[in-house]
Amino acid sequence: MILKQIAQKISDDTTKIIGYPVSISDENGILIGVSDPKRLGLFDKLLDGVIKSKELTYYGEEAAQDLPGIFPGVATPIILNGEVVGAVGLLGKVEEDTESYNYIQLVKNHIEMVCHETLRKEMKSIETSNLNTLIQLILHFDKNISDLEHLISYGKMLGFDLCLDRICLIIEVGTLSDHNYVDPSVSQQIQAELEDYLHHLFQANPQNLIGHLHFNQFIVLAALPNYQTLESFVKEIEERIKKFTQHLANKYHLCPVVAIGDFHPGIGGFKKSYQNALKTLSAGKKISGDGNVFYYDDLSIKLEILLNDLPRNFFDELHGKFESLMTHVNFDILASTFLAYCTCKMNVSEAARHLYIHRNTFIYRLERIHELTRLDLTNYNHCLLLYLTIKNNQNRNAPLEIL
């Protein structure tokens, strides 16, 4: 089957290079790759004899004279994993010399190499498909309707123990078409390469499940070894992600965003870790800074997730209460001032230095905020409400520039 897929192309390409017509047959002696299309599908008795004898053979004019469409030459069997899958012949090379021998061996080796590579790719494609199916079954696991035993058996068949603790990583590399990779075949090649690179990075533990969620999103359900603490495990992951980030930057000028979920027991826990990793990914992309790895248990991420989870009407009411500020012509400046005030623990002098402005200017801006909102800016609870409102406004719109 594999040989049939590649025979005609190899026949065409090799004929052009060496100058002798190349014929390729399947295991039954039927021609599947020929330089003359009219001969395609013919039974080649000479190649069939090579298949049965499993030996390199030279055929002269007398051997082919009573066989219509069959020509003399040298032929040898094509062997894949110890099994004869066909034969290849060079038409016109009937001399039993070094050149004829080298030519036929070169073509034979090339065909077998291409067959092995094609088989490897097909097997890898099947393995990848099975692994992605397993990952999807895990992520959609529902204890009320899913067959747990079947899922565990399926995982075991693929070589994975689903009873081990795992933590979910989601890696997003951006839409490749946004980076001038318009050709779909090129984009698919990049996706396959990145997935291979992730397998390389996480190959130390064969129980790590690695696949892709969408075109630009990859997932790793990383198994936690019994001897390792969560802290050291996360640190190790971060080191591997640094290598992945550097590879993307150097080769494709891309920067991934990595979200790490949390641990939960059982197969249902994988799904929970995945859901929290998704929340972390959404929250991490809203946080400015140099880092690209975000953790669900990080308090800054928790705040962003809280902002996403709070009901819309909660912020609608606050927005209405602070409407004078939210609609003010200098809202961006005043909002940036207030966020700096909160970041610097409500320390006026430190916040002014943070914004590179005079202390009196900073105090004047705080007074304007007080006039517009009627908030007590020395009261933590008051400040918290305005902080949440401004952060929610940032999430709905473009992030504010810190002035």
Q: What is the CA radius of gyration of the chain?
A: 33
Residue 185 confidence (pLDDT) above 70: no
Strand ranges (E), 116-252:
166-172, 209-214, 217-223
Residue 179 confidence (pLDDT) above 50: no
Q: How far apart are CA 234 and CA 223, in angstroms?
A: 11
Q: What is the mean pLDDT of residues 365-380?
A: 90
Cα–Cα–Cα angle for 183, 186, 189, rounded to 5 degrees: 150
CB-CB contact of 322 with 373 (8 Å)? yes
Q: Six-digit token pair at 62?
A: 């007398």
Q: How far apart are CA 112 and CA 3, in angstroms?
A: 9
Q: What is the mean pLDDT of residues 139-163?
A: 90
Backbone angles phi, psi at 96, to 5 degrees: -85, 70
Tens digit of each residue's pLDDT (9 = 90 or more) over 390-402:
888 877 664 443 3
Structure confidence at residue 53 (pLDDT): 92
Q: Six-digit token pair at 175?
A: 């839409």
CB-CB contact of 337 with 329 (8 Å)? no
- Of the candidates 7, 35, 166, the one whose C-alpha atom is nearest the C-alpha of residue 91 is 35
Q: Of all helices (H) and strands (E), which one includes residue 258?
A: strand 257-260
29 confidence band (pLDDT: 50, 70, 90): very high
Residue 104 confidence (pLDDT) above 80: yes
Structure confidence at residue 165 (pLDDT): 86
Q: How far apart are CA 41 and CA 380, in angstroms?
A: 85
78-82, 202-206, 281-285, 309-313: the lowest-pLDDT one: 309-313
Residue 183 confidence (pLDDT) above 70: no
Q: Helix, strand or coil for residue 236? A: helix
Q: How far apart are CA 96 and CA 101, in angstroms?
A: 7
Q: How far apart are CA 134 and CA 141, in angstroms?
A: 10
The set of residues, in sequence order, having a beta carbon less than 8 Å from that of 285 and lying 6+ positions away, is: 257
Structure confidence at residue 253 (pLDDT): 81
Tens digit of each residue's pLDDT (9 = 90 or more) over 252-268:
888 888 999 988 888 88
Q: How far apart are CA 148 and CA 39, in angstroms?
A: 56
Number of H helices, E strands in the chain: 15, 10
Backbone angles phi, psi at 324, to 5 degrees: -60, -35
Residue 180 confidence (pLDDT) above 80: no
Q: Strands 57-59, 73-80: parallel, antiparallel or unpaired by DSSP?
A: antiparallel
How would you class 274 by CB atoms within 10 Å of its CB: exposed for 0-12, middle for 13-18, buried for 19 or more? Answer: buried
DSSP 401: P
Structure confidence at residue 19 (pLDDT): 86
Q: What percent of the chain has pLDDT over 90?
A: 36
What is the third-level CATH fold of 312-396?
Answer: Arc Repressor Mutant, subunit A (1.10.10)
Structure confidence at residue 170 (pLDDT): 94
Q: What is the mean pLDDT of residues 286-315?
A: 80
More confident call, 309 vs 39:
39
Pick the CATH number of 2-108 from 3.40.50.720, 3.30.450.40, 1.10.8.60, 3.40.50.620: 3.30.450.40
- Of the candidates 30, 73, 20, 71, the one whose C-alpha atom is nearest the C-alpha of residue 51 is 30
Domain segments of the chain as ranges? 2-108, 161-307, 312-396
- Match 């009937």 to its residue by tokens: 94
10-24, 185-199, 362-376: the lowest-pLDDT one: 185-199
Q: What is the mean pLDDT of residues 103-107?
A: 91
Q: What is the mean pLDDT of residues 62-89?
A: 89
214 confidence band (pLDDT: 50, 70, 90): confident
- Of the candidates 28, 27, 9, 6, the one whose C-alpha atom is nearest the C-alpha of residue 17 is 9
Sign of CA dihedral 311, 317, 319, 325: negative
- Match 């400046």 to its residue by tokens: 333
Edge-to-edge strand order for the sheet containing 293-295? 209-214, 217-223, 166-172, 257-260, 293-295
Residue 204 confidence (pLDDT) above 70: yes
> Can 2-108 and 312-396 be said to share one CATH topology?
no
Mean pLDDT of the chain: 86
Other C-beta atoms lying within 10 Å of the C-beta of residue 44:
26
Structure confidence at residue 77 (pLDDT): 95
Q: Rounded to whole angstroms, what are the CA distances from 160 to 163, 181, 205, 208?
A: 9, 35, 11, 8
Residue 340 confidence (pLDDT) above 80: yes
The residues with which 217 forms a beta bridge, in sequence order, are: 172, 214
310 confidence band (pLDDT: 50, 70, 90): confident
Structure confidence at residue 35 (pLDDT): 87
Q: What is the mean pLDDT of residues 355-365?
A: 92
The CATH superfamily assigned to 161-307 is: Reverse transcriptase/Diguanylate cyclase domain (3.30.70.270)
Largest CA distance in the chain: 109
- Of the candidates 212, 238, 47, 38, the one whose C-alpha atom is nearest the C-alpha of residue 125 is 212
Structure confidence at residue 255 (pLDDT): 82
Q: What percent of the chain has pLDDT over 70?
A: 93
